[in-house]
Structure 1
Amino acid sequence: MPRSAIRPSPVFLGLLALTAGAGFLTMVDNKTAARAGVFLLVLGGWAVSLCVHEFGHAVVAFRGGDWSVQHKGYLTLDPRRYTDPVLSLLLPILFLAIGGIPLPGGAVWINHGSLRSRAVESRVSLAGPLSNLAIGILLAVAVAVFGPSTTEIAFGGLTDHALWAGLSFLALLQLAAFVLNMLPVPGLDGWGAIEPYLSYEARAFGAKARQWAPLILFAVLIGVPGVSEVFWEVVIALYGAVGGDEIAAAVGQSLFFFWR
């Protein structure tokens, strides 16, 4: 694939700059600034990861035969190019801000008829959540290698290690997005990964259920007692397995939801 096909848009670069600036804000010796920095760091980082998630789908599709994604602007990491910027970026950020739910973003439209094989179709679906997994692991490892110890975070002031706490919470959210997206539910990437190998009847059902199945899933996660707890237990177990610091993530969550 020619390098010129991938050109990060000014919007994406602006999101990166916002996230980096928020990181510096967390290190200001002021509790209000530190809390605001964590809030912006997590929201900015989440917006960046949404762009990378959709870029993952697009770049694998491009390599697999669907060259239309380049003309649609999907390789620019510009959220305005997605099918619906509100559903793709604004709604997931809003859900995250009010409830901490890692709602999947909108979609990039892939011409599946141009893809070379069922295996390529499956890889296209997997590329998005795997990008969340990679970001989550990188952040968790960075905190483990360069950040303070669990003891320092646990016994320090709430904002003493705000940067590392914010990055830890962001890492946890990335892994939550990975687990959620890998569920074999129509409309999610886990279903897309297995759909090419399903029967015609199953694929027809998935096409009909794609619009409402994720909504039912989120309603179950929010409204059915015990389901959310099981989901987060799986996420936290994965987070610990990749070296994540649960205490740091909890501190980051507390700083992020500063109004609670």
Structure 2
Amino acid sequence: MAYADDDEDEEEEEDEDEDEEGEEEEDATQPPVTAGGLFTLKTYPLNELLRPLTMTKGLTQLRAGFGVDVSDKQAFESVGLSLDVEYGLQDHFTLRGGFTSQYNFKQFAVSAGFEGALAYDFIDVRVEGVLRRPVVSDGMGEYKADKIKGGIDLGFPFRYAAKPEIAIVALDTLMSIDFDSKPDLTPSLGVATNPLPAVSIVVFAKLIIIDFDTKGPNLRVPATARIQFSPSQKLDLGAEFTFLNLKPEGSEKKFYDDRFLTLYAALRM
């Protein structure tokens, strides 16, 4: 009958609509992400500006670096190593640890702490306990190890994407609270860009005011340029070139006299 045919046509149309909805839910072209839009390891962005500030739950990142002093009159006479690890304990909450060294291990720092999101993909809070041993220069290009000091480093890592391929980054560090002296002011500010999805360039500087005293050697401004290539979601390869102080003490010393070069690789798993 005509009525029966109409009912059958309506049922067939409903079945087709349900099939289309099922196909949309299983669209293989859409990247699988966790709840809240967080990237998994499989879909971790090559573009650094698209990456979350904290590690997704269960992801680990290891970063190892080798550095060499390329300063005037003492180039390639001392080296340093670095190792950093980040683990996503929860979405938006990362455990951190690290070791850095310079001047043939006369200067080093060991740190451990956490970073948590205050506003997702915009600003975090970072707290790390640190044991560090600085060096003291004799003014003739030689460095001697100073005593080991303890403290807490506080930062509010911030990233604002002015455009899809350029962002302002700041406050990875803000203050170092020393256990045996006054706090140090250590704010950082920089610009990050992705000219290509797999290539990032970051230029940033840090203002260091020891004991909040701006006189003489207590005021330093190190600046770094970094270029990074990411051949896959799991691997980053990069280089950092640092001027150790843009405001050197004394009229004879230039900002480009003291330099340091670091090559590094980062692996996510």
Q: TM-score, normalised by structure 2?
A: 0.26
- Whose strand fraction is larger, Structure 1's or Structure 2's? 2
Question: Which structure has the larger Rg?
Answer: 2
- Whose helix fraction is larger, Structure 1's or Structure 2's? 1
Q: TM-score, normalised by structure 1?
A: 0.27
